Amino acid sequence: MKRTSGVIVIFIFAVISLTAVAQNTDQAKHMIYHEKYNSAEIALHAILQNDVNNEEAWYLLTQSYLEQHNVKAIKDSLMKAPQGLLDKPLLHAALGQILIQENNIADAKQNFDLALKQTKEKDPAILTAVAKAYIDTKDADAGYAIELLEKAIKRDKKNPELYVLL
């Protein structure tokens, strides 16, 4: 009887752990929003240890490092990402944001265009990521950021973040 109850406890703990991992990207977003970057990074690294192909976790990790102006850490982290993942739209947007922060506007635009093309400018997350990159840069095209946010709002009308960014 004790053995059976021990197995049940382990099973319940495993289910709770898997649920916690699934919720961590939302928690990491929340931590980044509240400027708790170290906590966000710890949570995101834990997610990536369990699922190295989690595109959103890689993107959020770059956002956390960008908020701290730690471009070297971003580049080091992205070198650890699986090669196939680096061709995903969200990571192209992240790479573009890194390049635009380094004033490499032409290469950044190339990455943004690739991300937008891959999603046919229909994915609100990609539209938002590219717009955010333009918003966070002094010399970037604010009009283009507004255009992208308006497209994102058409696709995701209930997302308050889009209205705040606009």
CB within 8 A of 81, min separation 6: which ones?
52, 58, 91
- Predicted confidence at residue 157, as pLDDT, reads 95
Residue 144 structure tokens? 């283009």
If pLDDT is split at 50, 70 and 90, which confidence band does 8 have? low
Residue 45 structure tokens? 């690294």
Question: Could you read off the pLDDT of 30-42 as tens digits, one per residue?
Answer: 999 999 999 999 9
Q: 81, 51 in Cβ contact below 8 A?
A: no
Residue 38 structure tokens? 């170290």
- Predicted confidence at residue 2, as pLDDT, reads 53
Number of residues that this document lists for the chain: 166
Question: Could you read off the pLDDT of 64-119 as tens digits, one per residue?
Answer: 999 999 988 888 888 889 999 989 999 999 999 999 988 898 999 999 999 999 99
User: Residue 47 in 3-state DSSP?
Assistant: helix
Residue 104 structure tokens? 């490499």
Q: What is each CA distance from 126 to 38, 42, 81, 118, 133, in whole angstroms?
A: 25, 24, 19, 10, 11
- Predicted confidence at residue 4, as pLDDT, reads 54
How distant is the alpha carbon of residue 65 from its chain centre?
Answer: 11
Locus of tokens 């690294």: 45
If pLDDT is split at 50, 70 and 90, which confidence band does 5 have? low
Distance CA 50, CA 66 (A): 23
Instruction: Specify the pTM.
Output: 0.82
Burial 108-143 (b: 16+ CB within 10 A, else e): bbebbebbbebbeeebbbbbbbbbbbbbebeebeee
